[in-house]
Amino acid sequence: MSDVARAAGVSVMTVSNVLNERTNVGADTRLRVLEVVEELGYEINLTARRLRSGRTGTIGLIVPQFDLHYYGELASRISEALAPEGMHLVVEQSGASRERELSALSLARLQQYDGVLLSAVGLDMADLDRIHPDVPIVLLGEQAVPERYHRVRMGNVEGARLATEHLVGCGARRVAVLGGKTSAPHPEMATYRTDGWSQALDQAGLPHDPALVIPLTTYSIAEARSAISAAVDGGLEVDAIFAVTDEVAIGALAGLHDAGLRVPEDVQLAGFDNLGISAHLVPGLTTIDPDHPTLVTEALRLLRRQLKDRTADPEHVVSGARLVARGTTRGRSAP
């Protein structure tokens, strides 16, 4: 770093500020320092930085799958939120595997990060109870977790209820839940959202036909498309579908088209997540917005809180839910 400072004609502190992406350096000075860094081939010694400061400047995000739109958008939002602090994000894929999630929480792996955001799918309560990580962790998602963990999750029941109420309010009487699940060893995303669907049907006085619960295993576009095509070919009569995620809803839209059914004329459709792509489908997808900015802000707030005080009392945060009505339903658009 001293060599870079001499060659660039600046102080060592200025070089440090540039390399740590702090904002108190002029544009011309920053460019000159970066050019010298490139010429000299200087690389930050992360091990030395950690030994000196006790920090790596890096946050880990562990998600089940890279190829689901939701996790790509989540990673982008977190990375943007960290950038002004000079913090970096590393994203790992667990494949929803218990073994890979445990490996990601091993002591050797955790030493790479100042904190970890984990979307746990494979781990159960007993696994999480046995783990005592030495870096701050915030759990994301709907799995049951021990009380001692900090956690952020969506308003799943409320959001699913809002989406189903909207479909019923638009005239639907046979609303299927695609990706639904009525029971599981522990509560999870699909069971929470099926509960919300069920509550809306109860409030409307509509019957619960078990055939209207269409389970999925991967919640992928391809599986959802095949499931809807098979259900319609099998004689299932529906006039609306609540898909448990937008990704599932995109598959449903394609499956309904395969079956020769029009949306929203023949079958109305609503999703959950308000992905960026959802507004650009034809027709635009009615969906539930789970307040992504709050989810990211709260998750990072809980990490920072633990970085300051590892004994901080755990918090369990639930985000809000807002209906965004678009062209796949016949109701008026939300503001």
pLDDT tens track of the chain, all 335 residues? 889 999 999 998 998 888 877 778 888 898 989 899 888 888 766 555 555 556 788 999 999 988 889 999 999 999 999 998 889 999 999 888 888 888 888 866 778 899 999 998 888 888 888 888 888 999 998 888 888 999 999 999 999 999 999 999 999 999 999 999 998 777 889 999 999 999 999 999 998 899 999 999 989 999 999 999 999 999 999 999 999 999 999 999 999 999 999 999 999 999 999 999 999 999 999 999 999 999 999 999 999 999 999 888 999 999 999 999 999 999 754 43
Strand partners, 116: 60, 137
**What is the rounded distance in angstroms from the CA atom of residue 290 to the CA atom of residue 152?**
12
Q: How high is the pLDDT of residue 67?
A: 84
**What is the rounded distance in angstroms from the CA atom of residue 289 to the CA atom of residue 73?**
13
Neighbours of 125 (CB within 10 A): 13
Task: Give yes or no: residues 79 and 168 share one domain.
Answer: no
**Number of compact structural domains in the chain:** 3
Q: How high is the pLDDT of residue 311?
A: 87
Task: Give yes or no: residues 113 and 225 share one domain.
Answer: no
Task: Give yes or no: residues 82 and 202 share one domain.
Answer: no
Q: How high is the pLDDT of residue 108?
A: 65
Task: Give yes or no: residues 11 and 71 share one domain.
Answer: no
Q: How high is the pLDDT of residue 335?
A: 39
Task: Give yes or no: residues 19 and 70 share one domain.
Answer: no
**What is the rounded distance in angstroms from the CA atom of residue 219 to the CA atom of residue 45?**
41
Task: Give yes or no: residues 185 and 295 share one domain.
Answer: no
Q: How high is the pLDDT of residue 120?
A: 84
Any domain includes 329 = no
User: Using H for helix, E for strand and C for coil, what is the string for 32-58?
Assistant: HHHHHHHHHCCCCCHHHHHHHHCCCCE
**What is the rounded distance in angstroms from the CA atom of residue 269 to the CA atom of residue 163?**
9
Strand partners, 241: 176, 269
For residue 251, give the CATH number of its domain. Answer: 3.40.50.2300
Any domain includes 330 = no
Any domain includes 110 = yes
Tell whether omega for the bond before 264 is within 30 degrees of 0, i.e. cis: yes
**What is the rounded distance in angstroms from the CA atom of residue 335 to the CA atom of residue 323?**
10
Q: Give the orientation angle of helix 156-169 with respect to helix 189-204, to 10 degrees.
A: 40
Q: How high is the pLDDT of residue 41?
A: 83
Element (H, E) at 300: helix 292-308
Judge whether 289 and 274 are in contact, CB under 8 Å. yes
Task: Give yes or no: residues 150 and 182 share one domain.
Answer: no
First to last CA, the chain: 53
Strands 287-289 and 268-270: what pairing? unpaired
Task: Give yes or no: residues 117 and 90 share one domain.
Answer: yes
Any domain includes 193 = yes
Task: Give yes or no: residues 205 and 220 share one domain.
Answer: yes
Any domain includes 232 = yes
Domain that holds residue 274: 156-290
**What is the rounded distance in angstroms from the CA atom of residue 198 to the CA atom of residue 221?**
24
Q: How high is the pLDDT of residue 16?
A: 84
Q: How high is the pLDDT of residue 144?
A: 80
For residue 13, give the CATH number of its domain. Answer: 1.10.260.40
Tell me the CB-side half-sphere exposure of residue 309, using CA atoms within 13 A: 7
Q: How high is the pLDDT of residue 171?
A: 96
Residues 213, 218, 222, CA angle at the centre, nearest 5°? 90
Judge whether 268 and 238 are in contact, CB under 8 Å. no
Q: How high is the pLDDT of residue 334?
A: 42
Task: Give yes or no: residues 38 and 125 share one domain.
Answer: no
Q: Whose CA is closest to 288, among 274, 300, 303?
A: 274
Task: Give yes or no: residues 143 and 254 share one domain.
Answer: no
Q: How high is the pLDDT of residue 47?
A: 54
Q: Which two tokens stand for residue 197?
A: 């669907």
Any domain includes 334 = no
Any domain includes 296 = yes
Any domain includes 132 = yes
Task: Give yes or no: residues 118 and 172 share one domain.
Answer: no
